[in-house]
Amino acid sequence: MTAQARRTQGAWIVLLAGVAAALHIAKLPPAIPVLQRELGITLVQAGFLLSLVQLAGMGLGIVAGLVADGFGLRRSMLVGLALLSGAGVAGGLAGDVTTLLILRAVEGLGFLMTTVPAPSLIRRCVPPERLTHMLGYWGSFMPFGTALALLVGPAVMGVAGWQGWWWLIAGVSTVMMIWLAWAVPADAAHPASGAARAGWRERLMQTLSSGGVWLIALIFASYSAQWLAVIGFLPALYDAMGWGGMLGAVLTAVVAAVNMIGNIVAGHLLAHGVAPRAVLWGGFAAMAVGTFMAFGATTQDLPMLRYLGAVLFSLFGGLIPGGLFGLAPRLAPSEQTVSTTIGWMMQWSAIGQFSGPPAVAWMASRLGTWQWSWVLLGLCSALGMGLAWRMSRRLAGGALHRRGDAAAK
């Protein structure tokens, strides 16, 4: 195997490590009924178990990026996987909800330290002509882990209980930690001279003063607020339509899984020169149509059409995270702030995921129906399209500036 082939293999291992981290986040939803029966947790406590990970992301996303850029990409991922493994093992031994809540916060930190540096590490492993494709694949790590947990979790817990489910996922992250340490080249012992030694304050200010970084972060929030709101409430909607139990779990898992296709396609489209605005607009437009089909009054008596709307929403919505991960290295203010930029994206993604579902639930409770949820979700799509237009203007301006510099030389 050539040196480049080994490095490319390392990029796929980084992707699989991201999937292992996603399993820790997604393991909880299928386990909530079991935890309610065995530990007596309330719905409010279950909500805190779900949201604590997002709270970690809301407060520590950019911190994780700063740590990764300064501490080392591979080192950060290994620490993150170790935190996930340790919290998973300890969680399986926990006998009360307070311990689970504390360990859930630890998992949130481990998730950030694993996933924030991953795109920069992939960038280090693959040749430039393959980068956009590979970052499109990276964007699929979360829907793949979510779909896998929804499908496999109930079967595992039926045999080994929720403790066995926790320990299995802890074992997966341990294996990925060992594999990553063995197969992915180590970080440099010391950063290079010059800009690479920029302190964390300088990197933070570079990132937060960049308009392009703010745009991709806010676009990500516009997307994530919708995606989690729809995926989170699908089981309840399907149960109301008579699609409960395993059927509802499989249908929801399929909706989550098709999001991977959009992520991968986004990378291919950007690599073949399709304009970023077209990729993002296509994703947001399809999400708006999909939410209208999934929630609107016109499809109330057409359950299959509602389901196809959810599939459309998730499938083409995947163009957005795939596109944004591909664009992040181009919009980062410097080579040394790529992970910090992605950390800021993840932080706003967490803000969107934390705020979107309650906003949709509040509207549904106030109106007494889900049928107008598509209006709120559609406004998120409209906001995302407007931000994407601004971002495309910034990218075009940057290209013109670079061409002017080249002509001057």
- Residue 179: which of 9, 339, 64 has the closest Cα? 9
pTM score, whole prediction: 0.82
Range among 51-60, 188-197, 297-306 with highest mean pLDDT value: 297-306
Q: Say whether both 220 and 174 belong to one domain.
A: no
Q: What is the CATH number of the domain that holds 313?
A: 1.20.1250.20
φ, ψ (nearest 5 deg) of residue 55: -65, -40
| Same domain flag for 10 and 82 | yes
Among 74-78, 151-155, 186-190, 302-306, the minimum mean pLDDT is found in 186-190
Residues 130 and 224 both lie in one domain: no
**Structural domain of 85:** 1-182
Distance of CA 133 to the CA centre of its chain: 17
Q: Are residues 150 and 265 in the same domain?
A: no
Q: Are residues 122 and 256 in the same domain?
A: no
164 in any annotated domain: yes
Minimal CA–CA distance to 180: which of 248, 112, 118, 269?
A: 118
The domain tally of the chain equals: 2
Q: Does 189 reside within a domain?
A: no
- Please check whether residue 346 is in contact with residue 61, taking contact to mean a CB–CB distance below 8 angstroms: yes
Q: Are residues 247 and 178 part of one domain?
A: no
pLDDT tens column, 315-370: 999 999 999 998 998 899 988 888 889 989 989 998 998 888 888 878 887 887 77
Whether 8 and 153 map to the same domain: the answer is yes
Last residue of a domain, one of 182, 212, 232: 182
Residue 316 DSSP symbol: H
- 109 and 217 part of one domain: no
Q: Considering the domain boundaries, does residue 406 fall inside one?
A: no
Residues 206 and 128 in one domain: no
Q: Residue 322 and residue 337: Cα distance in Å, rounded?
A: 19
What confidence tens digit (pLDDT) does each residue in 12-54 have?
999 999 999 999 988 988 888 888 888 888 766 776 777 777 7
